[in-house]
Every structure is written in C-alpha cells, then in structure tokens.
Structure 1
Amino acid sequence: MEIMRQFIKYALVGAIGTILHTSVLIFLVEKEGFQPLIGSSAGFILSLIVSYYINLKWTFQLEKKKSFFYKYVIVSLSGLGINLLIMFLLVNLLGVWYIWAQVIVIIVVPISNFTLNRYWAFA
C-alpha cells in the first residue's frame, strides 16, 4: 500500500528532523550561549529545509518545484500553530501535564501535516 509506505518514510524523516532540530537547539544554547527561542528557531528552520528535500526526493519521489517549497513551509507553520494551540488548550486551560499534551501533539500534528503535504503541498 503506497500511502502506508509514504507515511512510514514521512515519519522517519520527521524523526530525523526532530533530532536535527533538538541538536541545533542544544548546541546553540549550551555551547554558543544563545537564548532558547533563538536556538529553537534556528533548529526549526534547518530541520524544515532538510526535511523538505528528503520528503521531496525520498518520501514522495518528486522533482523540485518552487511551489512545493512554499506550500511545505505553509504546512509546517500550520503544524506549528496546531502544536501551540493543543499545548495552550491542554496545559493552560485544562491543566494537563505538558508531557501528556506533547504526546497528543506527536499523534495529531504528523498526521495532519502528512495529509496536507501528500494531497496539497506535493500534489
């Protein structure tokens, strides 16, 4: 089943992106003295670019088009927005422990991002 294969590849790319994002964050904060928001932003941007190219070539096996990248950025930012919304609602309004809220984020955001990327950004 092609969609399941793509989703597994997408999840692996997401894991690579998460490791890259977190590594940049830790390096910039711990070794270079940057503020966490700056380090996380740099990690997010680098992860977004690397993940885009791997998803383009490996997950969806497409040739580069400028419109793909712009749409991918929109999907990634919408995923970030969903992440922040879920965290705010669960942690700030409902008093859920932030780790449990993050578990929900880890389930919801990749599914929504994969769906948007497969049927819109890389369509």
Structure 2
Amino acid sequence: MPKFEVREFITFAIVGVINTATYYSFYLLGLKTLGLAYMIAHFSAVVLSMIISFFLNSYITYKVKPTWKKFLMYPITQLVNIVVTAILLYILVDGLHVNSTIAPIGALIITVPVTFVVTGKVLKAA
C-alpha cells in the first residue's frame, strides 16, 4: 500500500482551495457576467479550473513532469467527480431550491476527498 504523504495532502488541500476559488470565479463570471445558464457556467468553469489544477498539482503537489498522456488522462479520471458534482448541483438547485450562486460549494465539499487519491494515482503514473 502506498505511503500517505502528509506534505502532498497539505499541498493538495492548498491547491484545492486555489482551484475551488478559480472554479467559483469562472462559474460566477459565466453565471452573472455572461448570463449563462447555471449548468453551462458550471461545466465551463470545471474545464477551465481542471486545466489549471492539472498544472498546479503536477508541478507543486506531486512534483512530476506533466505530459500529454497525463493531461489527457486527467479529465477522464475526474469524470466521476464531475458527474457527481453536476448531479449534486442539480439536486441542490432544482430539487432543494438552493441558490445557484452557493450550490456549487455544497457539491464540491462532498466530492473533493476522492479527488486527492485519484489525482495522485494519475499524476504519479509513468
């Protein structure tokens, strides 16, 4: 079993905060400034923040060289996280009538822990 790296986890958490702020900024930009529907704003923000997250986690968290292979695998491994976040966002906004401005925060809190493990496996792969 791989050794749990405390430094990696702490760095991942810091990068996660940066990534969440980046996602939320892009989300609000799309929702409020560009007038996009919340789900379009969400998916646009996910894509943009995922690209930034890939490079931050490669260089800072896991200290690995980013490659095209890892870059292309990164979103595939995050697909479950993206789908679950979207479903939770839909449930929160349309089902529970949570304000679409704050709903992504609740969805992300539920899905973030899994991302640490998955991201490490992808970025540390040969």
Equivalent position amino acid for 2:109 in 1? I
Distance 2:59 2:123 in 1: 14
Summarize the Cα distance change of 1:2–1:106 in structure 2 as closer, same or farther, 3 Å threshold: same
Share of identical aligned residues, percent?
Answer: 23
User: Which aligned pairs between 1:45-84 and structure 2 lie closer than 5 A?
Assistant: 45-84=47-86
Mark the CA change 1:42 to 1:15 in structure 2 (over 3 Å): closer, same or farther: same
Q: Report matched runs for 1:27-106 at 5 Å.
A: 27-84=29-86, 87=88, 102=106, 106=109
The offset of 1:78, in angstroms, is 1.7
Residue of structure 1 equivalent to 2:113: 111
> Distance in 2 between the 1:115 and 1:41 partners?
22
User: What TM-score results when the alignment is normalised by the length of structure 1?
Assistant: 0.74
Note the C-alpha offset of 1:73. 0.7
Aligned residues: 114
CA distance in 2, matches of 1:7, 1:25: 26
- Unaligned runs of 5+ residues in structure 1 are none
Equivalent residues of 1:11, 1:110 under 8 A apart: no
d(CA) in 1 for partners of 2:23 and 2:96? 25
Greater helix fraction, Structure 1 or Structure 2: 1
C-alpha distance in 2 between matches for 1:29 and 1:83 = 17
Structure 2 residues not aligned, in runs of 5+: none
When the two chains are superposed, the root-mean-square deviation of aligned CA atoms in Å is: 2.8
Greater CA deviation, 8-17 or 50-59?
8-17
User: Structure 2 length normalisation: TM-score?
Assistant: 0.72
